[in-house]
Structure 1
Amino acid sequence: MTQFDDLAEIYEEFSRLPFRRELEFPSVLGEMGDPSRLRILDMGCGSGVYDRALARHGAGRVVGLDESDGMIEHARARESGERLGISYVDGRLPADLAGDFDLVLGVYVLPYATTYQELVGLCRTAAGALRPGGRFITLPIHPEVHRDPAHYERYGFRLNTGGDLVDGSPVDLQLCFGGHDIHVTARYWSAATLEEALREAGFGPVRWRRHRLAPAAAAGPPEFWEPYLSAPHAAILDTRKETEPS
């Protein structure tokens, strides 16, 4: 049982908000580039939003992995209607899939490591799934996240970082849209610690990417997006596997 088992429908609703539809998805999918023929693992796939998008855009193989039974059940049910050929795995990645993927996507996965050892473990899971030279794109909490809980409220959520931010500090994520008031606990990790954990897991240099708006959103009034673009709540990290995880 995880804190996400009963949240699949709410996460599905969250995926339809302008913040995700017009900013997060274009940023992540744009960074990935053309997924055609790529073998992709979505680590911490949640309700399967990215899996379905990648399959629709021609990815060669898409596997969704999540520890939440509720999320996996929801993702399988949503995918079955379209018959997109996505595979879903509940729990650990099977040994026969080790080294099978060209790209691992980990959206909002690293923030749920509660210790440095768990953080390295998640990075090793990603590295273990990748072929040599394969990419890992992941979104942790931004090391320079805005400290005002209401800063992101217009985007459908609030972040309460509490006191001093140090590695492993709990961060309260409050989903506050459509009448919902849901709290999820995440963890803060500094830039140096994130890069060290990735290096320890066998990854090379980390590239910190910028968010981008969908063209239609970019053409509109900037006032809505400026607070987020000036202080994103999530970073976009892009790195490649260099060595086998120890």
Structure 2
Amino acid sequence: MSTRFDALAQLYEESFELPWRRDLESYTVLGLLGDLAGASVLDLGCGSGDYCRALRRAGAGRVVGYDTSEGMIEHASRRESREALGIEYTTTPPPAGSFDVVLGVYVLPYAEDYRALTELCALAGRALRDGGRFVTLPVNPDFDPRPDYYARYGFRLYDAEPRSDASRVTLELVFSAYHEVVTARHWSRPTLVKALTEAGFTGIDWPGYRVSPDGRGTHGPDFWSPYLHRPHAALITAVSS
């Protein structure tokens, strides 16, 4: 079944080239994943396939993009047919124990209740081999509440209701000709850790972000400092046991 995200593929592709995504987010994520040579990687909630392509170019041996949005998968598959990177895209849940790494960027924020949150974590856990790694980016439980705090990066973020587990958060993507509003969910650190633990994950860690040398040189520390102080998304790494 199509979702409202079907029409957003082009926006998401263009957002991947914004400085904070290119020089901070994806730079940090790929750095955390390390050497991917020969690794089998699942991009959970792959959207338009931006991270799938980055993972493949980083040397991953097998990359599978999974999303429930048929429109996103169709868009990503059209690009794959042109670029022939060897990426697989699917709307079918991944088989158990098939991957060394699962990446879930902005997936957990779309769990509308705790049951859905644990199901997403369990899906990632099932897909991994024992000892496999899960890297995911939820809404930062401590994001800055001022709506314009992140405006310089191309978006606004604010609480749509009092902050608590599963409370609604509004994300406005405002860059180029775009102004798209997305509703996400806030989850506290203890609740995220609980859900991951129940899914069989251990070694849960919350690393910080790093800015690429090009990003530091182009924009300077004053540009990056607000985001590094209060990022809008947290980073979580965990190990499947």
TM-score by length of 2: 0.97
1:230 aligns to 2:241 (yes or no): no
Decide which moves more: 148-157 or 213-222.
Answer: 213-222
Does the 8 Å contact 1:106/1:138 carry over to 2? yes
Does the 8 Å contact 1:3/1:184 carry over to 2? no
SS of 2:51 mapped into structure 1: helix
Partners in 1 of 2:139 and 2:212 — Cα distance?
22
Partners in 1 of 2:226 and 2:123 — Cα distance?
34
Partners in 2 of 1:77 and 1:178 — Cα distance?
24
Partners in 2 of 1:86 and 1:163 — Cα distance?
39
Partners in 2 of 1:72 and 1:132 — Cα distance?
28
Does the 8 Å contact 1:4/1:71 carry over to 2? yes
- Deviation >6 Å, runs of 4+: none
Instruction: Pick the aligned partner of 1:195 from 170, 181, 193.
Output: 193
Alignment of 1:1-246 (within 5 A): 1-93=2-94, 97-220=95-218, 221-242=220-241
Q: CA deviation at 1:3?
A: 2.6
Q: CA deviation at 1:91?
A: 4.3
SS of 1:27 mapped into structure 2: helix
Q: CA deviation at 1:163?
A: 3.7
Letter of the 2:82 counterpart? G
Question: Alignment identity in percent?
Answer: 52
Partners in 1 of 2:82 and 2:160 — Cα distance?
43
Q: Deviations over 1:168-211 (max 9, x none)?
A: 00111111001211011100000000000000011013110100
Partners in 1 of 2:3 and 2:123 — Cα distance?
19
SS of 1:225 mapped into structure 2: helix
Q: Deviations over 1:185-238 (max 9, x none)?
A: 100000000000000011013110100001112235211111100000001100
Letter of the 1:113 counterpart? A
Q: CA deviation at 1:57?
A: 1.9
Does the 8 Å contact 2:100/2:129 carry over to 1? yes
Does the 8 Å contact 2:201/2:239 carry over to 1? yes
Partners in 1 of 2:3 and 2:168 — Cα distance?
16
TM-score by length of 1: 0.95
Partners in 2 of 1:26 and 1:79 — Cα distance?
22
Q: Deviations over 1:82-106 (max 9, x none)?
A: 211100011422xxx2101000000
